[in-house]
Homo-oligomer: A and B are copies of this chain.
Amino acid sequence: MSPSDFFYRNREIAGFSNPSRATYTAVRELLENSLDAAESLEVPPNIFLRISEVAGQTESETKFYIMRVEDNGTGVPADHIPSAFGQIFYGSKYELKQARGTFGLGGTMAVLYGQITTHEPVKIESSTGGDIHEFIMNIDIQNNRANIFKHNIRQNPTGWRGTSIEIQMDGDYSRIMHRLIEYLKQTAMVVPYADITYIDPKGRLYKYERGTDTLPPLPQPVRPHPHGIDVEMVKRLISTDKKSRNMKSFMMENFQGVGAITAEKFLKSADINLKSKPKTLSSEEMVRIVRATKDYEGFKRPIASCLSPIGVELFETGISKELGISEDDYLKVVTRKPSTYLGYPFIVEAAVAAGNTIRKSHGPGIHIYRFANRIPLLFDEGSGVIWKAAHKNINWKTYSVEKDTSIVIAVHVCSTKIPYKSVGKEFMADQPNVEKEVTNAIREAARGVRSYISKRTRIQREKRRLNIFNNYLPVIAQFATRLSEKEEMPDITPLLTAVSTVIPEEKSTLAEVPQIVEESSE
């Protein structure tokens, strides 16, 4: 059985369980490939997505759709295209850095699903700057390789760089429409430097314009951290290492943050001779090295340059842009320091938003947005670690968040290895350290909520109080004027100002004075 065959038979574990879900997953996988391709070129992504119905179909629950995704990314070299889109598990380059596509499955799975439902080939066009290569192909599932029907080479007068892919598939758009739009909106929140244009099957245009041209720094590939290794990895490193003459230099060359002194101390703790040649290591010695890494505490923390958090500024831009946050709302974004679980580095970022805008758009309650390596997670919220952190670990009363408070929590976890619990990338397992960091990130971002809410409550109370003054003082003044048989009413403004300034905090209440005028003029 080939890997293609395995995923053909078990497509639900990759997120292609039924026509509506498959529609969603296909868009998602293609879009994420496109974002990756543009980011790795360090250009702000321009993504064009269109889903259209195949013409002349009768009414039925599912329909054949053509999905087209086009980007301005790196492009795929012509000789790689057949494998990149026609072979499951292609792309074996194993770099230790943050990336969206963890499993190397997504694009090919979408092609596979299209093929098994419509039997139509996929059309791929790509240019790395020179000619445009067009492939019409499908997958030979039993042999896990591409069948190429056509390969055209065209000139590229406009100098387009990027990839476009067109897949025909059996889908169910109406059932998944809302999720898909939500997915695009959330992508725009977390990738605020991307321009995404979407034309849906009814011809409706959805446009997510970039809020900034700044991209977060590219993640840099790093050597493995000793805490994350296993025996197989040591074996592989030994077999590929041509330089190291002894175990000391082997440790220094192949792992991050291991200097001469650490290498010596560590190897002593593992009872390995510093001068042994790596190639002569016995299997028992390899095991000893791996076991010793778990107990040795002198290693530095994992390097975080392989990670690319969104950063406070970009995350704020994205959230403000997509949720329409105004200055009167509460929005606080935090990026935590790097941490690790099972030897993998990760960074948690959290945003908390509250205020009128949130109340109007989301209603009361705690609303969660979840992101992992800049991918929105939309399904199975209740099973994931972020839900657990937000709902179980935090006592919201201490933040003055009551049942009828409206609050948005957005959490982004980035890592070289997101602890997904399924190939469908739907939710993260509750690794203890990840859970702790997520909880702390939310707490940190929520720290100002209490004072924001109490300030808002105070302002509202003050508004009400001034309103009363406003309503009655003019009446009293009028009455007093008449009573004292004066003709001119005294100016009550100083009085009002005095009343409203006694309390130092609520300068904003003075903004209400015009209202007073308005009301008293009635």
A429 at the B interface (CB under 8 A) = yes
Within 8 A of B (CB), among A25-61: 60-61
A96 to chain B, nearest CB (A): 11
Report copies per complex.
2
Is A119 touching B286 in the complex (CB atoms < 8 A)? yes
Residues of B near A2 (CB, < 8 A) are: 89
Q: Which segment of A214-222, A229-237, A396-404 sits at the interface? A: A229-237
Q: Mark A5-40, 1 if CB is under 8 A from B, else 0.
A: 110111011000110000000000000000000000
- Whether A231 and B115, one on each chain, are in contact in the complex, defined by CB atoms closer than 8 angstroms, is yes
Task: Establish whether residues B419 and A17, one from each chain, have CB atoms under 8 Å apart when the complex forms.
Answer: yes
Please, which residues of chain B bring their CB within 8 A of the CB of A291?
A: 60, 170
A62 at the interface (CB under 8 A from B): yes
Cβ-neighbour of A230 out of B117, B419, B422 (below 8 A): B117
A116 contacts partner chain B, Cβ-Cβ < 8 Å: yes
Write out the residue numbers on chain B whose beta carbons fall within 8 Å of the beta carbon of A391.
none
Contact between chains at A3 and B89 (CB < 8 Å): yes
Nearest CB on B from A288, distance (A) = 10
Q: Is the CB of A91 within 8 A of B1?
A: yes
Contacts of A295 in B (CB 8 A): 60
B383 lies within 8 A of A90 (CB): no
| Contact (Cβ within 8 A) A287 B94 | no
Nearest-neighbor residue (CB-CB) of A2 within chain B: B89
Q: Quick one: given A1-B91, A429-B17, are A283 and B119 in contact (CB under 8 Å)? A: yes
A227 CB, nearest partner CB in chain B, Å: 13
Q: Does A380 contact B (CB under 8 A)?
A: yes
Q: Which of A10, A286, A342, A423 has the most CB of B within 10 A?
A: A10
Are A6 and B3 in touch, CB under 8 angstroms? yes
- Asked whether any CB of chain B lies closer than 8 Å to the CB of A507, the reply is no
Question: Is the pair B103, A287 in contact by a Cβ cutoff of 8 Å?
Answer: no
- Which residue of the partner chain B has the closest CB to A341? B18
With beta carbons under 8 angstroms apart, the residue of B12, B283, B421 that contacts A419 is B12
What separation, in Å, do the CA atoms of A118 and B382 have in the docked complex? 36
- Sample of 11 further A-B pairs with CB below 8 A, known A8-B232, A9-B94, A116-B232: A1-B104, A3-B3, A3-B89, A5-B89, A6-B89, A60-B295, A115-B231, A119-B235, A382-B383, A383-B383, A422-B424
Q: Which 10 A-B pairs have the closest CB atoms?
A: A1-B92, A422-B422, A116-B232, A119-B231, A119-B283, A383-B383, A116-B230, A1-B89, A3-B3, A119-B287
